Amino acid sequence: MKEQEGVIKYQLEHFQKSIDELFSFNEISAWRAIIFRLGLIGKDPDLYENLGFGNISQRLNPKSSQFIISGTQTGHIEYLNSNHYALVIKSSPQENCLQSCGLSQPSSEALTHSVLYNLDSNIQAVIHVHSSEIWRQTAALNLPHVTGDISYGTVEMAIAVENLYQSGKLQQSSVFTMLGHEDGVVSFGKNLEEAATELIKHISLAIANKYQ
């Protein structure tokens, strides 16, 4: 049975309150709009049972363990405002739980984002998209990847991403794929520009390889 897209699987304690005074959303919303226009975040009636896909996050500040992430099922909106984000206050990927606040609940992939932030203080931004070009060219591009038996948004995915990092493969590439999550690709970087640029670069590499 095909897994349903965009379903929150972790235990969530969420406080419904505004976070617009905590963070400037201009940069993250601008980069997300670009990625939306490329079709890497969005909603398509012909894909994933017409549910939204993709998400983006950024540390609250360079030294914080907390992070801002786009809300669940906001994929159909081109430009997000502060109401469409959540602040992840605490996260425990190994225990499958998050604590957050905001006028939207955090994306279903928030656990994966939290793992990356917990592993490396240099990671300041994470982008999860759906790109069939990159995903299908995982082997050809020699990309780090999570194996096909691991589902998105689970403790097993969190552990798999941590193992991938500990293996050293994510020091060689800041883009990896989730083979058990159709078209799932993650990019990260020291800022949003770096994460987005690496993602776009790998799309070009995938397309070029496809037509060799």
Residue boundaries of the structural domains of the chain: 11-210
**Burial 158-184, CB ≥16 within 10 A → b, else e:** bebbbebbeeeebeeebbbbbbbbbbb
Is the entire prediction scored with pTM above 0.75? yes
Task: Characterize the bridge pairing of strands 145-146 and 175-178.
Answer: parallel
pLDDT of 91-128, one tens digit each?
A: 988 888 999 999 999 998 899 999 999 999 999 999 99
Alpha carbon 6 to chain centroid distance? 12
Residue 15: its H or E element:
strand 11-16
Q: Which superfamily is assigned to 11-210 in CATH?
A: Class II aldolase/adducin N-terminal domain (3.40.225.10)
Nearest to 79 by CA among 122, 42, 129, 117: 42
In angstroms, rounded to a whole number, what is the distance separating the alpha carbons of residues 141 and 143? 5
Give, for all 212 residues of the chain, the pLDDT tens digit: 344 445 567 889 999 999 998 899 999 999 999 999 999 999 988 777 777 899 999 999 999 999 999 999 899 999 999 999 999 999 988 888 999 999 999 998 899 999 999 999 999 999 999 999 999 999 999 999 999 999 887 888 889 999 999 999 999 999 999 999 899 999 999 999 999 999 999 999 999 988 87
